[in-house]
């Protein structure tokens, strides 16, 4: 399951999204994620689904590779669905022992499940089509206005990029440690939740040691290359907007406007009737 986490990985391909400016991908991803929380109706989610499918097609990333990251959040998804299904007040539909499934609970559970899946897939599209270096440059450029307020923009962007880049590395390291412990006779799958949590201790200790070792190696490598922050640094490939970047902004703005119009129109008709 740990190998199925796609967030933070980069998939090299010749897709249209790979050639876009990283600032465009960051902004458009944020707009899409925000649009998922604007309205709760089927038509808006159908529009969000169509937009996401179009983006995936343009990315040229295999769909099965992108959906593979959903396996890591199955437990969180089930907990979200169950809590919304049984703890939401409304019109009763089904009674199961002392629990009641309501119409509003069923609707909320379905929308929350779709929203959570689209959040993961939408964020994965950005990281799968953007290299860590490009992502760092894009974040730095977007946060550049804050530098006038003495905010260390370059350092913040660098830390965020390194943290995102280390996600698949640490997941792979965790998988190796788990297999090594199981080969030595460790039981990580049986027992109750407390026994499983106690069995994770032999995994967490070497994982933290490995993480600190990697962080120390990275710091030494940066110091050996005379890295002293973003002051006075230049870029070999400075970011610049092109026509396709403006086109992507326009398409995303049109999508957001359509979501707002459709959502408000449906809400208005529901209020009238």
Query: Residue 80 is encoded by which pair of tokens?
Result: 């979200």
Q: What is the pTM of this model?
A: 0.75
- For residue 27, how far is the Cα from the chain centroid? 14
Q: Which residue has the tokens 């599209």?
A: 125
- Model confidence at 68, pLDDT cuts 50, 70, 90, reads confident
Q: What is the pLDDT of residue 5?
A: 60
Q: Give the pLDDT band (50/70/90) at residue 114.
A: confident
pLDDT at 246 over 90: yes
pLDDT band per the 50, 70, 90 thresholds, residue 270: very low
**Which token pair is 48?**
């969000």
Contacts of 34 (CB under 8 A, 6+ apart): none
Residue 231 is predicted with a pLDDT of: 67
pLDDT in tens, 159-218: 877 877 777 778 778 888 888 888 877 777 776 767 777 777 778 888 888 888 888 888
Tens of pLDDT, residues 12-64: 888 888 889 999 999 999 999 998 888 777 888 888 999 999 998 888 888 87
Give the containing element (helix H, strand E) for 96: strand 92-96
What SS3 class is residue 99? Answer: strand
Please check whether residue 194 is in contact with residue 173, taking contact to mean a CB–CB distance below 8 angstroms.
no
Identify the helix (H) or strand (E) that includes residue 10.
none
Is-contact 101 85, C-beta < 8 A? yes
Asked if 67 and 53 touch (Cβ cutoff 8 Å), the reply is no
Q: Which residue has the higher pLDDT, 94 or 34?
A: 34
Average pLDDT over residues 90-103: 74
């Amino acid at each position: 399951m740990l190998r199925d986490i796609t967030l933070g990985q980069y998939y090299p391909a010749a897709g249209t999204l790979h050639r876009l400016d990283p600032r465009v991908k960051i902004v458009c991803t944020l707009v899409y994620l925000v649009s998922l929380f604007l309205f709760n109706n089927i038509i808006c989610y159908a529009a969000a689904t169509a937009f996401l499918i179009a983006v995936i097609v343009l990315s040229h990333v295999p769909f099965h590779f992108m959906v593979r990251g959903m396996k890591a959040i199955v437990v969180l998804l089930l907990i979200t669905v169950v809590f919304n299904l049984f703890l939401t007040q409304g019109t009763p539909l089904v009674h199961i022992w002392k629990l009641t499934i309501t119409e509003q609970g069923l609707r909320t559970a379905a929308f929350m499940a779709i929203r959570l899946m689209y959040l993961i897939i939408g964020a994965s599209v950005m990281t799968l089509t953007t290299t860590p270096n490009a992502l760092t440059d894009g974040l730095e450029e977007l946060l550049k206005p804050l530098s006038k307020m003495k905010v260390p923009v370059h350092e913040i962007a660098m830390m965020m990029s390194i943290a995102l880049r280390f996600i698949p590395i640490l997941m792979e390291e965790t998988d190796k440690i788990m297999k090594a412990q199981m080969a030595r006779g460790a039981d990580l799958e049986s027992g109750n939740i407390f026994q499983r949590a106690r069995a994770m201790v032999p995994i967490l200790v070497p994982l933290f040691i490995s993480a600190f070792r990697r962080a120390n190696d990275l710091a030494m490598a940066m110091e050996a290359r005379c890295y002293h922050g973003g002051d006075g640094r230049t870029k070999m490939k400075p970011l610049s907007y092109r026509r396709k970047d403006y086109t992507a902004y326009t398409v995303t703005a049109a999508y957001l406007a359509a979501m707002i119009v459709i959502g408000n129109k449906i809400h208005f008709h529901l209020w009238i009737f």
